[in-house]
Amino acid sequence: MIKTIEYIDGIVRMIDQTRLPVEKQFIDCRTIEEVGHAIKTMVIRGAPAIGVAAAMGASLGADSIEAASFEDFYHAFEEKCDRLGQSRPTAVNLAWAISRMKQTAQKNKSLPITQLKSRLKEEALTILTEDITTNQAMGQHGQTLIKDGNVVLTHCNAGALATAGYGTALGVVRAAANAGKNIKVLANETRPFLQGARLTTWELKEDGIPVKLITDNMCGFFMNKQEVDLVVVGADRIAANGDVANKIGTYMVAVLAKENNIPFYVAAPVSTLDLAITSGKGIPIEKRSSEEVTNINQKRISPEGIEAEHPAFDITYNHLISAIITENGIAYPPFTESLKALANQK
């Protein structure tokens, strides 16, 4: 299994996703600040993976604090966590993981500081293992929506690399393949950061799951020829009404799927739900640098002086979504009721 992130003796080791597929290199983070930098620069990306990295970063941050009382410890811990929480704004798993680490500290305030630090490390490791089992459960639910011989289109990378392992949307694909279904994947390249071209194709190839790469502007062509049976994507944040924030371009894919009567599914853990936000309009959209659009592999593809827009995510409105697959089951419209029911299920 692909190990996107792991903890080894005071070190958080991550696959450097900016270098894939050309080379498989690892980056070692020894401080919370290094973890924050890795999240910002996309060494690690994908909502659940960002959450796991944040929890591990918080544990490294806790280890570096020298304090005699819980109050002094917590003051420094909260400050470090809040700074880490600003590294990327759209994926709610970042705030979710940090809040879980803060709650763990509060619940264990009576422990001596050294034991509290061990407890925080344990919690970060629990978040990692839970993420994998969550994805496997999501895969089991989701694969029931896939038939033998289906072609599945996906956008961005919502796979093992975007999680602690197995993946959300690609977890559904993996579960279908493991159930003996013959399936093929069409992967949108996902401009501008090319997560589809670089990462989705890489990890499906590693697993021997047939995949073909297409450019983003080809997906309507294949849908219209009835060469796509269903779409499955991941999510960075899901509002209470089922509006979904995901990689820029997802909205376009969903509109095309609707136009061509193709089911459009979102696979995401309950930790990606943000029921405090009523609709997609309230979800913050990260703006990334112009250079990620004007340059490919550090090579400029547009004239000097041309500025580019770069919203990193968009909102897919709930009427375009056929179902949302979670580890607790599949939510169907109307999502306000079905998501709340799944979120409250243990």
Number of helices (H) and strands (E), helices first, in the chain?
12, 16
CA distance 236 to 180: 30
Query: What burial letters (b/e) apply to 186-202, b meaning 16+ CB within 10 Å?
Result: bbbbbbbbbbbbbbbbb
Element (DSSP H or E) covering residue 325: strand 323-326
Question: What percent helix, strand, coil does the chain show, rounded to 5?
Answer: 45, 15, 35
Binds ligand MRU (CB under 6 A): choice among 48, 89, 139, 165: 48
Is residue 243 within 8 A of residue 315, CB to CB? The reply is yes
Question: Which residue, among 336, 285, 341, 293, has the nearest Cα to 314 in the 3D structure?
Answer: 285
What 3-state DSSP class applies to 22?
coil
Output the six-digit token pair for 20.
């894939």
236 near ligand MRU, judged by CB under 6 A: yes
The tally of CA atoms less than 13 A away on the side-chain side of residue 49 is: 33
Binds ligand MRU (CB under 6 A): choice among 5, 29, 32, 47: 47
CA distance 237 to 268: 9
Smallest distance, ligand MRU to C-beta of residue 114, A: 35
246 near ligand MRU, judged by CB under 6 A: yes
247 near ligand MRU, judged by CB under 6 A: yes
Smallest distance, ligand MRU to C-beta of residue 23, A: 19
Binds ligand MRU (CB under 6 A): choice among 235, 238, 315, 321: 235
Smallest distance, ligand MRU to C-beta of residue 165, A: 11
Q: Which residue has the tokens 């640098």?
A: 289
195 near ligand MRU, judged by CB under 6 A: yes
Of 40-48, 69-77, 98-106, 323-331, the segment contacting ligand MRU by CB under 6 A is: 40-48
102 near ligand MRU, judged by CB under 6 A: no
Smallest distance, ligand MRU to C-beta of residue 247, A: 3
Query: Which residues between 118 and 147 bind ligand MRU (CB under 6 A)?
Result: none
Of all residues in the shown chain, the one whose CB is closest to ligand MRU is 234
Which of 156, 176 has the CB closer to ligand MRU? 156
Cα–Cα distances in angstroms (integers) from residue 241 to residues 70, 126, 161, 318, in the given order:
40, 29, 28, 7
Which of 48, 139 has the CB closer to ligand MRU? 48
Query: Which residues between 150 and 169 bind ligand MRU (CB under 6 A)?
Result: 156, 158, 162-163, 168
Task: Give the total of residues touching ligand MRU (CB under 6 A).
Answer: 17
What is the CB neighbour count within 10 angstroms for residue 311? 11
Query: Which residues between 280 and 319 bind ligand MRU (CB under 6 A)?
Result: 312
- Told to judge if 243 belongs to the known catalytic residues of this protein, a careful annotator would answer no
46 near ligand MRU, judged by CB under 6 A: yes
Smallest distance, ligand MRU to C-beta of residue 215, A: 18
From the candidates 131, 236, 274, 314, which is the catalytic residue? 236
Is residue 242 within 8 A of residue 339, CB to CB? The reply is yes
Given the rule CB under 6 A, which residues bind ligand MRU? 45-48, 91, 156, 158, 162-163, 168, 195, 234-236, 246-247, 312
Residues with a known catalytic role: 236
